[in-house]
Structure 1
Amino acid sequence: MTDSIPRRVRVGLLAGACLYVLGSLASAQAETLDFRQAVDVALRQNPDLMGVQAQMAQARAGINQAEGAKMPKITVSAGVTRTNDALNAFGIKLSQRQATFNDFGAGQFDPTNPNVLSVAPNSLNYPGSVNNFNTRIQAELPIYTGGKLQGYLQQARSMLMAAQAGDQAARQQIIYHALQAYDGVYTARAFKGVAGKALEAAQSQVKTVDSLFKQGVVIKSDLLSAQVRQEDVKLQQDQAADMEAQAMDALHVVLGVPLNQPITLGPEVMVTLPEGDPNAWVGQAMERNPKIQALQHQIAAAGGKIEVARADRYPQVGAMARFDTNDPNLGFESRSYTVGAQLNWTIFDGGVTRNAVDQAVAQRMELQAKLQSEQNQLGMQVQDSYRKAVDAANQVKTRELAVKQSEEAARIVSKRYADGVGTLVEVQGAQAQLDKARADLIMAKQQVNLQRAALRLAIGDLTLDATQPIKPLAQLATAQAVAAVSPSNP
């Protein structure tokens, strides 16, 4: 049947199928990963977050364990025994309700013997081997523990809340690191763009100088200097390309994906300033920062540990109920029960309890000191991040003006040199100043984002809602053009 299809048609079908598959692969690779999706990937695969979730699971298990300690403890046991030990053999017979007078040596009792009371009964002292099958059900209930169980429960609950706060802190840290890596790629690409513009300027400069040299206007050293400048800029372009590759590798690491997996980024993002009064942000940070909350819960857990240690100073009271069966063969014939209560009170333990309490108190004091230190540093971090964010925003405005001024200066100096008035040193100096102004503008824009993110991280408010995508200039220009010709606009 294949032979009935012309060869040209078969080749066309095969080529179409290949193009379809390649098109599908290309479209799959062209799918972008915007910042929200990047954070979602990082949250799913980050090992730090998985470790915090494991801590939360441990804390929940600790709560269940502390709650379960209040309930009765019920155990079931079964065992078999064979012995000819005099005491145990007689006790087993009693438990089996099978003791007889003959077990006391009644067969050897002779009332006519004046020394009969001194006769050792063989059946009592040298019994034969006896078997016993024992089944037991026992329930134990703590009645009063001196606050130990309550201390365990307080400790477990506080550790759970500390782990939950740690989970929030870890998530915000992941968002911060993802932003650093994501924004780092765009920053590297911006530097690459600056290097590209510098290369274009250097190539144009070489053409200009070469033309002037051929006309006899400039000397050969100017041409060599321009060529050296061009090669230097090529090296800078290679370095910028390496910077972009390194930034992309860093993003792969943050996301937890293989380095060879292709990633196409979505639009850039901008971090907004938090709402409210900057003077009130320090107070908000003390209340909402998850690291501070985690430390506060750890202090509460340390208080529970103190209560656990102090409980050993007080009596421990518990109740017990037990049901037994004993039988020489496998069965449940002889039944018995036992109920009771017991009080244990350690009067003297050589200072073990006192030192345990002192140790727990010292641990809580250590955590309190750490909390005070973290709060002091947090207040400074909030103020410092805010000042740096404002300073970076002001620098952006200044750097934008500097770029415009440097562009105009480079244009004028280049024209003067082309007219034979200026020197090549002036041209290269103006171009270097322009390159620096462009690089400074890129760094200032990056610092705005990072410092705002650091501020929100300190306040405990770094979420995806704090970021907004930035439309590319081409898309923005298209949107403005569409809006301009829209019938709704006059």
Structure 2
Amino acid sequence: MTDSATRRIGIGFLAWAVVFQGAASAMTLDFRQAVDIALRQNPDLLAVQAQIAQAKAGVAQAEGARLPKITATVGATRTNDPLNVFGIKLSQRGATFNDFGAGQFNPAVPGVLNIAPDNLNEPSAVNNFSTRLEAQLPLYTGGKLQGYMRQARSMLLAAQSGDQAARQQIIAQALQAYDGVYTAQAFEGVAAKALDAAQSQVKMVDSLYKQGVVIKSDLLSAQVHLEDVKLQQQQAADMRAQAMDALHVVLGVPLAEPIELGPEVRVDMPPGQPDGWIGQALENNPQILALRHQIQAASGKVEVARSDLYPQVGALARFDTNDPTLGFGAHSYTIGAQLTWTLFDGGVARQGVDQAMAARMELRAKLQSAENQLGMQIQDAYRKAVAAQNQFKTRELAVQQAEEAARIVTKRYADGVGTLVEMQGAQAQLDKARADLVLARNQINMQRAALRLAMGQLDLTGLQQVPAQPPMAAASAASVPAQP
């Protein structure tokens, strides 16, 4: 098992030890702990980290290509091929005149020069045990090695920027899920208040009906409304359960594991003004940075392709031994240099350069489009964040107005002046105003988070825990969160 694998397993056990003491009981998990677990276990981030490991290996590979390549070869041969036999004897420094058929040469014999010597044409088989140590060093590659190095380093930087982007995306997902649980809890609180109001209405209408003040249809209508509110309460409970399941998925935690959340989280507006934010985003947004590094990598690929148009020069040093038995009897060395230049290849190298340049142009177009969209995204997120803040203030006033209206209409109905329809309508407006307030509060966090994400600044430093919030165990009694 590798050190990195052991480290990941250790981190995983540590995360579970911090969060969970056992399957039967759950510890309080605040947002920072939730993000920490998500960053350790999210499969998307693990995939990005694997890409970084690949890029680092690519850099090491490109650096290694600039160093000498040293190979060692050991071989054993037995042959009776005339050419190879004579060559092996020369390599073993054991060739003799008799290997040329000198014993068969007799000047007194007519036509002696036309006699084929047996020792040369039909030699006996020979053995050869050879060893070779060879070093090759590229001296000039037309910029190929430099291009590989530039490409590898740029891909590493792109992968690191991608890792940063993935981390911020995970924080955004964790925030959405974490805040979604609190939003669902707040909806449960709204439903609980609506249930209390509906039950009070049934009691009041029942009392008035028994006094003969109202007709039976009013009582039946109030009871039907109560059942509708109970259904809404169940829907709110299901919404909270679904939000909690979503949080489990983001954290990579089994759905059966109990989780209780700590304080709520408030997202702060980034410092400065919108005009300056765009410039900051262009400098810090990790997705933009990743695209820029990819363009640099594409430029390295252009250099690699262009190098095929230039000569390649390399040096060679080789040491050989050859022996008829196991040993190192005959030594030899070779030192040299070689220049290779492809003079004509049918335009293959030139087309490769054009292809690489076209790929770089495509990335530049994507970068320009992404930069333009980023500016629009920041402006849009800022407007929505401001609108959500203003809407929150409006919703607070709407709740106060609806509460007062419901109080007045309920009193009028109790005095026999108003109608049940008016009272139920006023209560419905109050319920809606409370729900809208909850949604507005959620939108403040989400739009601010979207703004920080676009700027490349969505981290824990811009997130503040809201103290003195009701525990998750008392979700049904939770009140509407205060204004951030």
Taking structure 2 as the reference length, the TM-score comes to 0.92
Say if 1:140 and 1:320, in contact at 8 Å, map to a contact too.
yes
Mapped to 2, the partners of 1:358 and 1:226 lie a distance apart of 78
Are 1:402 and 2:380 matched, yes or no?
Answer: no
Mapped to 1, the partners of 2:166 and 2:22 lie a distance apart of 35
Are 1:78 and 2:68 matched, yes or no?
Answer: no
Are 1:445 and 2:441 matched, yes or no?
Answer: yes
Aligned to 2:7: none
Partner SS state of residue 313, structure 1: coil
1:185-217 CA deviation, whole Å, 9 max, x = no partner?
000000011001001100000011111111111
1:244-276 CA deviation, whole Å, 9 max, x = no partner?
000000000000010000001000010001111
1:328-380 CA deviation, whole Å, 9 max, x = no partner?
00000100001111111001111111111111111111111111111111101
Aligned to 1:194: 190
Alpha-carbon offset, residue 28 of structure 1: 8.0
1:102-161 CA deviation, whole Å, 9 max, x = no partner?
100011101101311111101000001000000000000000000000000000000000
Say if 2:182 and 2:264, in contact at 8 Å, map to a contact too.
yes
Matches within 5 A, 1:351-430: 351-430=347-426
Q: 2:63 aligns with which of 67, 71, 78?
A: 67
Mapped to 2, the partners of 1:197 and 1:341 lie a distance apart of 89
Residue 470 of structure 1 aligns with an amino acid whose one-letter code is: V
Say if 1:86 and 1:124, in contact at 8 Å, map to a contact too.
yes
Matches within 5 A, 1:246-285: 246-285=242-281
Mapped to 2, the partners of 1:392 and 1:25 lie a distance apart of 39
Q: 1:58 aligns with which of 54, 59, 66?
A: 54
Matches within 5 A, 1:3-402: 29-402=25-398
Mapped to 2, the partners of 1:462 and 1:368 lie a distance apart of 26
Say if 1:29 and 1:264, in contact at 8 Å, map to a contact too.
no
Cα 1:172–1:85, aligned 2, differ >3 Å: closer, same or farther?
same
Structure 1 residues not aligned, in runs of 5+ = 1-23, 476-490
Say if 1:406 and 1:430, in contact at 8 Å, map to a contact too.
yes
Say if 1:382 and 1:455, in contact at 8 Å, map to a contact too.
yes
Identical-residue share of aligned pairs (%): 74
Partner SS state of residue 308, structure 2: helix
Q: Which of 353-362 and 426-435 deviates more?
A: 353-362
Q: Which runs of 4+ in 1 moved over 4 A?
A: 24-28
Mapped to 2, the partners of 1:25 and 1:474 lie a distance apart of 22
Alpha-carbon offset, residue 278 of structure 1: 1.9
Say if 1:314 and 1:345, in contact at 8 Å, map to a contact too.
yes
Say if 2:23 and 2:258, in contact at 8 Å, map to a contact too.
no
Mapped to 2, the partners of 1:242 and 1:86 lie a distance apart of 90
Partner SS state of residue 79, structure 1: strand
Alpha-carbon offset, residue 313 of structure 1: 0.2
Mapped to 2, the partners of 1:27 and 1:193 lie a distance apart of 28
Alpha-carbon offset, residue 31 of structure 1: 2.0
Cα 1:416–1:263, aligned 2, differ >3 Å: closer, same or farther?
same
Say if 1:73 and 1:140, in contact at 8 Å, map to a contact too.
yes
CA RMSD of aligned residues (A): 1.3
Q: Which of 211-220 and 249-258 deviates more?
A: 211-220
Mapped to 2, the partners of 1:344 and 1:413 lie a distance apart of 97
Say if 1:140 and 1:318, in contact at 8 Å, map to a contact too.
yes
Cα 1:30–1:120, aligned 2, differ >3 Å: closer, same or farther?
closer
Mapped to 2, the partners of 1:250 and 1:259 lie a distance apart of 9
Mapped to 2, the partners of 1:98 and 1:43 lie a distance apart of 70
Say if 2:263 and 2:469, in contact at 8 Å, map to a contact too.
no
Aligned to 2:462: 466
Mapped to 1, the partners of 2:415 and 2:450 lie a distance apart of 51
1:376-410 CA deviation, whole Å, 9 max, x = no partner?
11101100001100110011111001001000100
Say if 2:177 and 2:246, in contact at 8 Å, map to a contact too.
yes
Partner SS state of residue 76, structure 2: strand
Aligned to 2:478: none
Mapped to 2, the partners of 1:295 and 1:265 lie a distance apart of 37
Partner SS state of residue 433, structure 2: helix
Mapped to 2, the partners of 1:370 and 1:398 lie a distance apart of 41
Mapped to 1, the partners of 2:129 and 2:460 lie a distance apart of 68
Mapped to 2, the partners of 1:438 and 1:447 lie a distance apart of 14
Say if 1:145 and 1:316, in contact at 8 Å, map to a contact too.
yes
